[in-house]
Amino acid sequence: MTSDGLTNMVEESSIYNTIINHFESADKLLIDMANEAGGVDNITVVIIKN
Q: What is the pLDDT of residues 17-45, one digit of tens each?
A: 999 999 999 999 999 999 999 999 999 99
Q: Model-level pTM?
A: 0.90
Whole-number pLDDT of residue 34: 97
- The dihedrals phi and psi of 18, each to the nearest 5 degrees, come to -65, -45
Q: Which residue has the higher pLDDT, 3 or 18?
A: 18
Query: Is residue 48 left, alpha or beta, with left meaning phi > 0 and alpha meaning psi from -120 to 50?
Result: beta
At 2, the pLDDT band (50, 70, 90 cuts) reads confident
Q: Which DSSP string corresponds to the chain?
A: -B-HHHHTTS-HHHHHHHHHH-GGGHHHHHHHHHHHTT--S---B-----
